[in-house]
Amino acid sequence: MKVAILAGGVGSRLAEETSIKPKPMVEIGGKPILWHIMMHYSYYGFKHFVIALGYKGEVIKKYMVDYCSLNSNLTVKLDTGKVNINGGYKPDWTVDLVDTGIPTLTGGRIKRLAPYLGNETFMLTWGDGVSDIDLRELLAFHRSHGKLATLTAVRPPARFGHLELNGNQIVEFSEKPQTREGWINGAFFVLEPGVFEYIDGDDTQWEREPLERLAKEGQLMAYQHGSFWQCMDTLRDKVLLDNLWQTGKAPWKIWDKKVDFKGKKFSSRANGNRHPTYVHNA
């Protein structure tokens, strides 16, 4: 199954970083957040990526082309120009890099990826958000309901410290990463190719007419993920994610784990979701 990633936005609220690079290339722990997202999908066995480029897309192209050489030792034969890559981590990924235009809106970018995604179920997410979501459970949930689209509903990040009051006395103070109430669109979609029919063209914003129409027609389902999710919209978000990574407390860093998905039973209770248990054989 292919994974589409939208990586073409300007990221104006992160101008400190995005004046020279696209937002998905802003680094968390020395690696672009795009790399973190791809590592997450790869951990669950989804290794074919279709990336929608726009603003400063050449930076992402160069990173992918140079990835193996930048992360390995090299032997260079200067007389022939031959380069041998020695050691290093070489992920077995296939990456389609598709120019979708700088002014193109999110829906238009998705539709421009259609020839690369084919007539089959695919995953979709933004290039600026990380989570500890279990992608196999997400897929199993999508397959269980038979609708065209599943989005991941998450708790919005808390911007301020949470207070528990007893009258005027504070009985609990905590800096929580997410609020306890309300759900928002956290991306991490699973979609059927029929959704392309809901997108008119480059000027269509995915979060408006297509999702609104899918919901109205009963074709949009929510996978409720009550655990960690964090977008990187601002410098404050970037600093938060970087601190979590540097202190070894990054909930989305799951790829060091060893797991055999075949025949595994995935219980959504472990992540605090409100779904029954689904069984999916990888």
pLDDT on residue 276: 32
Question: Following DSSP, what letter does each residue of 51-82 receive, concatenated?
Answer: EEE-TTHHHHHHHHHTHHHHTSEEEEETTTTE
Is residue 32 within 8 Å of 25, Cβ to Cβ? Answer: yes
Mean pLDDT over each residue of the chain, to the nearest integer: 87
The per-residue pLDDT for 161 is 63
Q: Mind listing the pLDDT tens digit of every residue in the chain (282 residues)?
A: 999 999 998 888 888 888 889 999 999 999 999 999 999 999 999 999 999 999 999 999 999 999 988 888 889 999 998 988 888 778 999 999 999 999 999 999 999 999 999 999 999 999 999 999 999 999 999 999 999 999 999 988 766 666 678 886 767 766 666 656 689 999 999 999 999 999 999 999 999 999 999 999 999 999 999 999 999 999 989 999 999 999 999 999 999 765 444 434 333 333 333 333 222 222
Among 243, 241, 210, 246, smallest CA distance to 228 is for 241
For each of the domains in the chain, give its residue range(s) and CATH number, in order of start. Answer: 2-154+181-279 (3.90.550.10)
Give the tokens for residue 120. 């089959």
Q: What letter represents residue 113's amino acid? A: L
Across the chain, how many H-helices and E-strands are there? Answer: 9, 18
Q: What is the pLDDT of residue 97?
A: 98
pLDDT digits (tens, 9 = 90+) for 188-212: 999 999 999 999 999 999 999 999 9
How far is C-alpha 247 from the chain's CA centre? Answer: 22
Q: What pTM was estimated for this model as a whole?
A: 0.84
pLDDT digit string, tens, across residues 116-132:
999 999 999 999 999 99
Model pLDDT, residue 163:
67
